[in-house]
Amino acid sequence: MQTSSINRRNFIKISSLAGGGLVLGFLLPGKGMAAPSESGDFLQPNAYLKIDKTGKITVFVGRQEIGQGVNTALPMIVAEELDADWKNVTAEILPYSTNPIPGYKPDGGGIYDTGGSQSIMTDYTELRRVGAAARLMLITAAANKWKVQPAQCITENGFVINTLTKARLPYSALVGDAAILPIPKDVVLKQPKDFKIIGKPAKKTNLKDILTGRAKYGIDVKVPGMVFASVERCPVLDGKLTSVDDSACKQVSGFIKTVTFESSGVPMHLHAGVAVIATTIWSAMKARKLLKITWDEGANNKQSTDDLFKTFAAKANDKPVKEVYKKGDVTNTAANTLELVFAEPFLAHGTIEPMNFIADVRPGFCELWGGLQLPDWTVQIISAEVGLKPEQIKTNLTLSGGGFGRRLHFDFALEAVRISKQIAKPVKVIWDRTDDVRNDVYRPASLHAMKASWDNNGKLQTWQHHKVQTSIEVMTEGPDTKSPPDMLGGAGSDLWYDIPNVYTGYTHVDFNLNRGWVRAVELCVNVFPVESFIDEIARKLNKDPLQYRLSLLEGRAAFETEGSKLHLDPQRVANALKLAAEKISYHEPRKKNHYIGVATHFFSFARSYAAHAVEIEMTGAKKFTIKKIVSTIDCGIIINLDGLMNQMEGGTVFALSQALMSEITVTNSRVDQDGFYTYQVARMPDIPPIEVYTIPSAEEPGGIGEASLPTLAPALCNALAAAGERPVRLPLSKDGWSWG
């Protein structure tokens, strides 16, 4: 399998640059590049926007909707500059093409890539230009009609208005004339103070479809002639099939046949599998239970997470294999020292829609249906698999019942392709929940050895962070990966606190379990020890943890991080924290047995800043109730206020599962958990009141889809530390904590 030049690390880097404005202009083709509507029935200046004669405005969304709301926020950006009546705006999935936009072909990621909370950040300026260009064409069409200068016309809520005569024409009446005009190259964008749509709360564009059951997700798609497959996979990642006996399957009505496929390596690791093909998914699932299979599990079939954490602990005492960031000299430790070790488990995604995919592979032909967060990379790898050029593969993207990074990976798509190829029919592969929990790409387990020292005046002098984990990049790129280790989130040069001597390093440990990107990835993994450790230092110094943090942020100027070249403003880190403290009444007297913990961070994937404050009541030994969670965010300009609130609440809940109860463990190289009874996640009774507050800002918009995850666990653990015992290991349930 070839290694892709595209990986998410590059994708994040490249699109961060794009956010800085280096690829401006890619969405707007020059004159003649978009096909103007010959009939004049509609105006479609580019692939992203279409206005028809009924006044219906369709924005084609080129990012995967996974619940994060791109199908509303991105159209809002276009509608704003178009001065559209929001009521007339609908969103559709931009039909996938291997090269949809002339002139846009970044080498670090595809146009449809959806990850790192970066859709808004990357598309903001371009989508404004899309709206503004169409608006100018409509104005020009009206001005020609009225025989006045375009400058004498304004737009408002879907109308062009002649300022001399007060005459008004709806956009619907102008699309025919506008469609034959040249597409303007230069457009003037609005001043943010004039925004009417951006910044307001908007309902999801497909809300009605969701509420009536009409929304179509990947699992709902039907293709003529389609059969179904349920797959029995080798429980060990790199095992092989020795033998399969499917004779008993024949007694199941609807059973067609079985086909097999081997495991695969970089970039998408499939477990070897036996696919049971049938006319319904129920028949396939039933027949699958009757398979008799023997696997050759290979040499790596005795590994366990218990042993892995022992290895982690041993390695943590060694020097890091990779030095990540060095400032000053940490070998000169000051008089007082503190060491703490933090541990975090493997985690699954647990999207509510289990993995599924449809592939139709025949000689010289391939068509795909499903939700994909990185379709360009997927198509590139599948094209090699089926021996077709990427442009010969037709990809139909669908809604997804959750993403959380799971669909950045496309092992499930590759499986469907391998199965369809053998039966020359369209096949829908559906994973059941056990398949989904046992064959995920897990967030890596990790251990963090933290060391700090301060002088006798209480001034923090040194800070060391050694992270030992099972690398993601080794899975997606192979053992020789040159990608930087997962050290964003304060574990590298992006540590927001001002400490004179810093050393951070990384050690990878091999483990036979697939790994990947789970929502907020290393930011969650690293902010937990960073924000717990700084809190513990404050406690040891007998200082208030909030004030202590602020003292380490105070006066620190904005800076550019090394390597990743991110702009980090410590004052915005401080402001998110201060707002969280204020809203949880940090400075008010507390009720008996009530404790508050805080944590803050720079959300480096997409230039936002977010914090949490958590209030708990201790109700017994190791027993607590979460009374309230405050979540704050500074993401620059806000696009959809309601979408943002929902994401911040939901991200907090997602992180709460991880803090309290979620854990993947491994015995004999197989995952122990088999579904939502054993891989536990938060349910309604686990959820305390969550309040979200935003910080007004005129900065360019950042991302929010993952911003509220990283600080929840440390804020909760800091509250528990305030009550007397600091948790150093997640999930809390593992060490006997209980809540309710």
Partner 1 sequence: MPSYSFNVNNKPHTVDVDEDMPLLWVLRDILNLTGTKFGCGVASCGACTVLMNNQAVRSCQVQIQTCGNAKVTTIEGLSEDGSHPVQKAWEKMSVPQCGYCQSGQMMNVVGLLKAHPKPTNEQIENMMAGNLCRCGTYQRIKQAIHLVIEETAKG
* Residues contributing to the site for partner 1 (CB under 8 A): 65-69, 201, 203-204, 206-217, 219-220, 222, 253-254, 280-283, 285-286, 350-354, 399-404, 430, 432-433, 642, 646-647, 649-654, 656, 675-677, 681-685, 687, 689-690
Q: Minimum Å distance from CB 514 to partner 1?
A: 20
Amino acid present at 250: K
Q: Cβ closer to partner 1: 518 or 695?
A: 518
382 SS3 class: helix
CA dist 417 and 273 (Å) reads 13
Q: Minimum Å distance from CB 67 to ligand FES?
A: 5
Residue 173: alpha-carbon gap to chain centroid: 41
Nearest to 411 by CA among 271, 260, 223, 230: 271
Q: Minimum Å distance from CB 430 to ligand FES?
A: 12
Q: Minimum Å distance from CB 402 to ligand FES?
A: 5
Q: Cβ closer to ligand FES: 653 or 717?
A: 653
Q: Minimum Å distance from CB 356 to partner 1?
A: 9
Question: Is the peptide bond between 150 and the residue preceding it cis, with omega within 30 degrees of 0?
Answer: no
Residue 81 contact among partner 1, ligand FES, none, beta carbon within 5 to 8 Å by kind: none
Q: Cβ closer to ligand FES: 211 or 352?
A: 352
Residue 34 contact among ligand FES, partner 1, none, beta carbon within 5 to 8 Å by kind: none
Q: What is the DSSP letter of 661?
A: T
Q: 266-302 b/e with 16+ CB inside 10 Å = b? A: bbbbbbbbbbbbbeebebbbbbbebbebebebbeebe
CA dist 127 and 45 (Å) reads 12
Q: Cβ closer to ligand FES: 67 or 158?
A: 67
Residue 646 contact among ligand FES, partner 1, none, beta carbon within 5 to 8 Å by kind: partner 1
Q: Minimum Å distance from CB 80 to ligand FES?
A: 26
Q: Cβ closer to partner 1: 596 or 645?
A: 645
Max Cα-Cα span within the chain: 83
Q: Where are the beta strands (DSSP E) in 431-529?
A: 446-454, 460-469, 501-508
Q: Minimum Å distance from CB 523 to partner 1?
A: 17
Q: Cβ closer to ligand FES: 52 or 432?
A: 432
Nearest to 678 by CA among 690, 667, 694: 667
Q: Cβ closer to ligand FES: 218 or 402?
A: 402
Residue 353 contact among ligand FES, partner 1, none, beta carbon within 5 to 8 Å by kind: partner 1
Residue 651 contact among ligand FES, partner 1, none, beta carbon within 5 to 8 Å by kind: partner 1
Question: Is the peptide bond between 714 and the residue preceding it cis, with omega within 30 degrees of 0?
Answer: no
Residue 267 contact among partner 1, ligand FES, none, beta carbon within 5 to 8 Å by kind: none
657 SS3 class: helix
Q: Minimum Å distance from CB 218 to partner 1?
A: 10
Q: What is the DSSP letter of 117?
A: T
Q: Cβ closer to ligand FES: 67 or 405?
A: 67
CA dist 99 and 179 (Å) reads 23
Q: Cβ closer to ligand FES: 299 or 352?
A: 352
Q: Going by DSSP bridges, is the β-strand pair 227-233/426-430 parallel, antiparallel, or unpaired?
A: parallel
CA dist 45 and 47 (Å) reads 7
Contact set with ligand FES (CB under 6 A): 67, 352, 402
For residue 72, give the H/E element and its range.
Answer: helix 70-82
Total residues belonging to the chain: 740
The residue of the chain with the least Cβ separation from ligand FES equals: 352
Residue 409 contact among ligand FES, partner 1, none, beta carbon within 5 to 8 Å by kind: none
Nearest to 230 by CA among 282, 267, 183, 305: 282
CA dist 608 and 597 (Å) reads 21
Q: Minimum Å distance from CB 241 to ligand FES?
A: 29
Residue 430 contact among ligand FES, partner 1, none, beta carbon within 5 to 8 Å by kind: partner 1
Q: Cβ closer to partner 1: 127 or 281?
A: 281
CA dist 740 and 729 (Å) reads 20
Q: Minimum Å distance from CB 351 to ligand FES?
A: 8
